[in-house]
Structure formats: structure tokens, C-alpha cells
Amino acid sequence: MRIVFFGPPGSGKGTYASRISKALKIPHVSTGDIFREEIAKKSALGKVVKAYLDKGKLVPDNIVIEVMKKRLRKHDCKNGCILDGFPRTIAQLKMLDEVAKPDLVINLNVPRNIIITRLSTRRTCKNCGEIYNLLFIKPKKEGICDKCGGKLYQRSDEKPNVIKKRLRVYEKQSKPLINYYRKKGIVKDVVCKKLETPPDTIVKKILRIIDKSL
């Protein structure tokens, strides 16, 4: 099954997608994670995409499409995958329809004030990528990852002015995609109105939706 996790930055896509990928034993494919890994490796691709991520702008379609065509062709995606942060534009959506049509789109609906609080208090492990939140998913030891002991940091695009830019980009370029998927009848909405709702509550909700759609 191919599932797209759709929603604004800070809606929890990455957190839920990673847990559901473990539960369903299919890969979690996040374009944001792919780009951040390339930036950390200082690869040629990483050098090109860094400026876009730092400013909260979308990476150009030709780059994203090439990266994703390659990723979706890999063996581990043959039984499905969870797509997080892709597609984000009409051109990407068209490419996905040609290569690997999605079966289900989970549309995360989270109010703007929650998103801004959530993103500005989010911390990520430099080593393993585990996500924490200083308000409700706190690490046991300040600044240190519970899982691997790595250092926690604030992503450069999780500073308030970049967050606002990313939200504007989402409203303009990505949100319209949901109408296309709605017409196909494959969208399921998941509403999260409270900041403190534990991730596991939402994960269970999503797993029930997936179960019913199988």
C-alpha cells in the first residue's frame, strides 16, 4: 500500500509516518529527511538544496522528481511505502501518478497556532533523527537523545520567520493538491486540535483508518 501523509509543516507528518512505517513494515520515505541527509554529507545535491531548505522555499521540481524517481524504484518500495512531504506541487503529483499511484492520502488538519508552537519547540537528534518536543515529548536528559545519546538541535528552518514562510508556501503551492486527491476519493482527514494530544493517540487513529481502507 502506498500512503501519502499530507499536511502543513509541523502537522506531525514525520512523527506519525515514522511510527506507522514501523507498524506496517513498509519504508518511510521523507523528501525532507533525504535532503537533510545530503546536506549533512555535504554532497553535490546537499550543496544545491541547502539554500532552499534554509529559506523555507521548495526545492525545484526537477531536482525533487529525479531524487524521488530513483528512490521509488528501489527494491524496498515494491510492497508500498509511506510518503512524507511528497508530493508538494502539481508537477510532483503528476510524476507520482505515473510512477506509483497512491492508494490513500492521510490529510493532517492542525490549526496554525499549534503548528507554530510545535515547530518552534521541536528538537531533532543530530545523530539518529529522532524528534522531540520541549513541551510534551521531552528527552530524559536536556539536549540529549534518549535513543542514541546524540545531541539535539533546532533545525534552521524551525526558527519563527522561516516557519511562517514555510506555512505560506504550503498554503499556496501544496494545499491545492488535496482537492485533486479528494476527487479521486482517496483522502481521509485526521484532525488534531489540541497541542498536547499524544502522538500515539493520532497514530492509533491513523492505523484504524488504514485498516479499514485495506
Provide the binding-site residues for ligand AMP, judged by CB under 6 A. Answer: 9, 31-32, 35, 52-53, 56-59, 64, 85-86, 88, 92, 157, 166
Give the nearer residue to ligand AMP in terms of CB position, either 15 or 92: 92
Q: How far is the CB of 58 from ligand AMP (least distance, A)?
A: 4
The minimum distance between CB 107 and ligand AMP, in angstroms, equals: 15
Q: In the complex with ligand AMP, which residue's Cβ is closer, 30 or 80?
A: 30
Residue nearest to ligand AMP (CB): 32
Kind and range of the H or E element at 61?
A: helix 61-73
Q: How far apart are CA 169 and CA 173, in angstroms?
A: 6
Residue identified by cell 506496517 is 24
Q: Which of 50, 55, 94, 155 is catalytic?
A: 155
| Measured distance CA(66)–CA(99) in Å, rounded | 12
Q: Whole-number minimum distance, CB 214 to ligand AMP, in Å?
A: 26
Is 166 among the residues known to form the active site?
Answer: yes
Q: Considering only CA atoms, give the Rg of the chain.
A: 16
Minimal distance, residue 57 CB to ligand AMP, in Å: 6
The SS3 assignment for 210 reads helix
User: Biggest alpha carbon distance in the chain?
Assistant: 47
Select which of 2, 13, 19, 36 is catalytic: 13
> Between residues 38 and 104, which has the closer beta carbon with respect to ligand AMP?
38
The whole-angstrom separation of Cα 191 and Cα 187 is 13
CB-CB contact of 18 with 85 (8 Å): no
Burial of 115 (0-12, 13-18, 19+ CB in 10 A): buried
Give the phi and the psi of residue 171 in degrees, each rounded to 5: -60, -40
- Based on the residue annotation, tell me whether 71 is a catalytic residue of this protein: no
Active site residue 140: no
Would you say 94 or 142 has its CB closer to ligand AMP?
Answer: 94
Catalytic residues: 13, 88, 122, 155, 166
